[in-house]
Structure 1
Amino acid sequence: MELDLWWLLLFPAFFALGWFAARVDMRTVLKQARAVPAGFFRGLDALVEDRTGEAAQALAEVAQQQPGTVDLQLTLGKLYRRRGENDRAIRLHQALLDWPDLPAVQRDAVRFELAQDFSKAGLVDRAEEILSRLVDGNMALAARQQLLDIYQQDRDWLKAITVARALRSDVHTFHHEVAQFYCELAQGELYRSNYAQTRTYLAEAFSANRKCVRASLLQGDLELAEGNVEAAIAAWQGIEKQNFEYLSMAAERLFDAYEQQGRPMEGIALLRGYLRTFPQLELTDLLYQKVATYEGEPKALEVLREAVHARPSLAGVYRLIEAQMVELSPESRLDAEVARGVVMKHAQRLTVHRCKRCNFRSRAFFWHCPACGEWESFTPNRSELN
């Protein structure tokens, strides 16, 4: 009975202690909130409203009031860099590095930011020098990623390969990128007619990614340059098993190889087979021209009509109108000319390659997206904008 009484007396005491602790914590919070300069909140509000100039000014005032806050200085430097004020960002980060008591972890973070400043300002050599010293420290991953971007911009593919392999992990193997880097090297050697080195680089590309379509395209070009026409045809036909969408990039090469051997009809049969099996391939115009040359206009019109009906497109309709104009009366031909002109105008404007990652659109095809930097993300066959 006495124990129960003691418990009843202790309950109010527990509640009192809890209330007191809450009051102490609340006072601490309020005290800390009052200690934050008003300029910080002005800068934050300006950032939310995307008024970067006003935000930079407000945060600079706060940084002057609290010069020992490294995180705030780093944020201000990033804001300067985002606004294109690279010289101010460089001065700020260099001043931070002059602090004698700056901890090692924060010193590496400041160096990384300074490297980005130099890179943005076009001083790539100085950025590379700083980043190379960071690859063994706390900023190793970020430094290597930044170096990879620099080497790709400079087209220094051997260094890019080394960094990409160092970045390889279970999350990102970089095998597509490494294969593309070797293809860039092979392309350069092929232009210089250095066939032995081209073959070596292509072997490395296939070793990194056996489904690398670009390597197969270059392999065919190499074989053809050395006079191995059958080997070239085999390399280009192998693209069907790698990624059939890229057959449209090999189609004209394939036909020319068959034509060179005096077998143009086999080339036409191959193209027709591809188009029937994969109607999304951009082969209609090429096939029409080759059939018209070797089998006559009526047969070419038949092939064209079949392809356009299977997969209607502005480019196909343009060619279909053009193919039938000779059969029209002079008055009807004028009407058809107007229709053909309108269709072509819209086809040129709306038919584009696009990046599957960032949706960047271009009339030209790229292996490396100019917008997001992704490799092998561009659609090989153009599509029409909705």
Structure 2
Amino acid sequence: MDFDYQWLLLALPAAFFFGWVASRLDLRQLKRDDAASPQAYFKGLNLLLNEQQDKAIDAFIEAVQHDPQAADLHFALGNLFRRRGEYERAIRVHQHLLARGDLQREARERAQHALAQDFMKAGLFDRAEEAFKALEGTAFATDARLALLSLYERSRNWHPAIDVARQLESGGTGSFSQRMAHHWCEIAQEADARGRDEEAQQALDRAREAAPQAARPLVMQGQRLLRQQRHAGAMQVWDELMALQPAAFSLVAKDYAQCAQILGQVQEARTRLAALYERAPSVAVLSAMNSLQDDPAQRRQAIMTHIAQQPSLSAAQDLIRERLLTHVPLDEPEIERLQQALATAAKPLQRYRCAACGFESQHHFWQCPGCHGWDTYPPRRLEEH
């Protein structure tokens, strides 16, 4: 049977026509989808800028439905869920992204980082730890280590925290020596609580190695020696603290003075405390110094000098205590210094605070200058609450 080429001549135009019609229908559908997706996306952005998060989420969900392959839309939606505290929904969005086989490497790493943040915010620390560890060797490695450090500190997992801090320091992120010293001190504190003296001492030694200038290891070392009745050793450690961190010495000034009295080193300790007070004056150092002073007149004069320079309630309290101990009435200059200290301490409390926004002022307002609310200022100052 011979093939009739006439049918071929008729079929070719027909096939071309139907193909053209089908392509036009596909193009129209594609254009409609493309138009719907950006419109929903920009609508979501506009709502987000206007702080209408609920409506923005609905718009982004609509945009994702129109274009389920758009990773940026998923990221925007997931971040919105996290900001609203809807961590389970944020986790599902980012897990859906990670499950896609066509996701590029950069987007995959970004999704992994977002998922780790979701777990962290949701309090799922075990899963957050695994997710952050999976970012090792990626562009988010440093951010992941910093997050891991925070996670370990919150869960009081000090040894892993030290390891991560070392990695950050060796990676050039910055110095973490002070932070590692605190970690070792926390380990020492826990060991002391369990009665593991040797472990506690080793941890304090490591803390001092990590940060030789840090105050906390010296404070804790002296306190351990004091508990062991090793007063001379405690004073020696705190003498080092006095030289390295004079401001932190006020934390142990009272104990230092007591050790000096026990050891019969009152004069030497008072001399060192006086020199320290000149460098870093504080009420704690002043009280310790006065506890080693037998002359009531000199004690009162030291308190008067301090109040003149740094008025405070604690110094005023010391002055009143001296009056009660010695039964010597306060003279006029002392009363003036006492009034000065009380006025300085009371000033921050002699303010009115708006009940609506917390705006504080020395004057009462019927309309708050901060939130412009009416009758939001209670008629009583803070000190009266």
TM value normalised by structure 2: 0.70
What does residue 255 of structure 1 align with?
257
Deviation at 1:49, TM superposition (A): 3.5
Secondary structure of 2:68's match? coil
- Pairwise mapping of residues 359-374 of structure 1 onto structure 2 (< 5 A)? none
Is residue 307 from structure 1 mapped to residue 306 from structure 2 by the alignment?
yes
Letter in 2 for 1:126: R
Give the Cα separation in 1 of the matches to 2:57 and 2:284. 51
**Which residue is 1:142 aligned to?**
143
1:162-197: per-residue Cα shift (whole Å, max 9, x none)?
Answer: 111111144402111111111111122233332222
Q: Tell me which residue corresponds to 2:124.
A: 123
Question: What corresponds to 1:48 in structure 2?
Answer: 49
Which aligned pairs between 1:7-46 and structure 2 lie closer than 5 A? 37-46=38-47
Aligned to 1:105, what secondary structure does the other structure show? helix
* Aligned residues of 1:318 and 1:340 also touching (Cα < 8 A): no
Structure-2 residue corresponding to 1:111: 112
Q: Residue 118 of structure 1 contacts residue 124 of structure 1 at CA under 8 Å; is this kept in 2? A: yes
Measure the CA separation in 2 of the matches of 1:269 and 1:262. 14
Equivalent of 2:236, from 230, 234, 237?
234
Match for 1:196 among 179, 195, 198? 198
Shift of 1:345: 7.3
Does the CA-based 8 Å contact 1:131-1:147 persist in structure 2? Answer: yes
Greater RCO (Cα-Cα under 8 Å, separation 6 or more): 1
* Residues 232, 263 of structure 2: 8 Å contact kept: no
Deviation of the 1:323 alpha carbon: 4.4
Residues 201-236 of structure 1: per-residue CA shift (max 9 Å, x gap): 122212221101101111212333344322211111
**CA distance in structure 2 between the aligned counterparts of 1:50 and 1:285, rounded to whole angstroms:** 54
Q: Hey, what does 2:181 align to over in structure 1?
A: 179
Distance 1:34 1:245 in 2: 65
How far apart, CA to CA, are the structure 1 residues paired with 2:222 and 2:126? 37
Residue 104 of structure 1 aligns with an amino acid whose one-letter code is R
- Other-structure match for 2:78: 77
Partner of residue 58, structure 1 = 59
Q: Contact 1:315/1:347 (CA < 8 Å) preserved in 2? A: no
The 3 A distance-change label for structure 1 pair 121 and 96 is same
Question: Quick check: 176-185 or 225-234, which moved more?
Answer: 225-234
Which residue does the alignment assign to 2:245?
243
Alpha-carbon distance in 1 for matches of 2:246, 2:318: 24
Deviation at 1:280, TM superposition (A): 4.8
CA change 1:258–1:117 in 2 (3 A) is same
Residues 1:121 and 1:224: Cα distance change in structure 2 (over 3 Å): same
Residue in 2 that maps onto 1:90: 91
Distance 2:243 2:55 in 1: 56
Aligned residue identity for 1:315: S
Residue 36 of structure 1, CA deviation: 6.7
TM superposition shift of 1:343: 5.5
Structure-1 separation of matches of 2:98 and 2:56: 24
% identical aligned pairs: 28
The structure-2 alpha-carbon separation of the partners of 1:327 and 1:60, relative to structure 1 and needing over 3 Å to count, comes to farther
Q: 1:49/1:313 Cα in 2 relative to 1: closer, same or farther (>3 Å)? A: farther
* Cα-to-partner distance string for 1:86-117 (whole Å, 9 max, x where unaligned): 11111111222222222233223212211211
C-alpha distance in structure 2 between counterparts of 1:81 and 1:106, whole Å: 18
Mark the runs of 5 or more structure 2 residues left unpaired by the alignment: 1-33, 351-385
Rounded Cα–Cα distance in structure 2 between residues aligned with 1:283 and 1:50:
52
Q: Which amino acid aligns with 2:47?
A: A
1:341 CA drift (Å) = 11
| TM-score when normalising by structure 1 | 0.70
Distance 2:120 2:279 in 1: 48
Cα distance change of structure 1 residues 322 and 227 upon mapping to structure 2, 3 Å threshold: closer
Change (3 A) 1:327 1:46: farther
Which letter maps to 2:263? Q
In structure 2, the partner of 1:346 is 346
The answer to whether the 8 A contact 1:314-1:347 is kept is no
Q: Find the aligned partners of 2:172 and 2:138 in 1 and give their Cα distance.
A: 21
1:61-97 per-residue CA deviation (whole Å, 9 max, x = no partner) reads 2222222111221122112111111111111112222
- How far has the Cα of 1:304 moved from its partner? 0.7
Mapped contact 1:43–1:55 kept (Cα < 8 A): yes
Which residue does the alignment assign to 2:216? 214
Number of equivalences: 310
Say whether the 8 Å CA contact 2:242–2:276 is kept in structure 1.
no
Question: Match for residue 294 of structure 2?
Answer: 295
**Counterpart-to-counterpart distance in 2, 1:43 and 1:282:** 58
Distance, in Å, in 1 between the alignment partners of 2:244 and 2:206 is: 17
On the 8 A contact 2:119/2:127 being kept in 1, the answer is: yes
Cα 1:171–1:90 shift into 2, 3 Å? closer
Q: Is there any run of 5+ residues in structure 1 with no aligned partner, and where?
A: 1-32, 351-386
SS in structure 1 of the partner of residue 245 of structure 2: helix
Sort the Cα spacing of 1:240 and 1:287 in 2 relative to 1 into closer, same or farther, 3 A: closer
Is the 2:91–2:118 Cα contact (8 Å) retained in structure 1? yes
Q: Secondary structure at the match of 1:37?
A: helix
